[in-house]
Structure 1
């Protein structure tokens, strides 16, 4: 089975998005300013989309959210 077809793999990637988004909120402003090329707001925003709409994210929506992964 290819990873992109694996339910467990897809859920693991989704959990990583949740964790990265959540933990990005704990980074200091100094750190974020040092790495200002990173879209910190988008990272947190994607976490919110996944967290609050997880039950309604179907297999067709996930590839649009994380196209290079699935």
Structure 2
């Protein structure tokens, strides 16, 4: 993870109260399997901004594919 991503993760944790890994776990439990579904869920039900939701979705999809 580069310095910019580390900063985003830190801000995410501070603002949401959840670590990136917790968001990814929630996405896995909910069986959200596409970037669009993840972004929609995070924006509608968790109140995240589009950019934050996209970042989480990207990280979740990348991690869950491996």
Relative contact order (C-alpha < 8 Å, sep 6+): which is higher?
1
Structure with greater Cα Rg? 1
Which protein is richer in helix relative to its size? Answer: 2
| TM superposition score normalised by structure 2 | 0.31
| TM superposition score normalised by structure 1 | 0.30
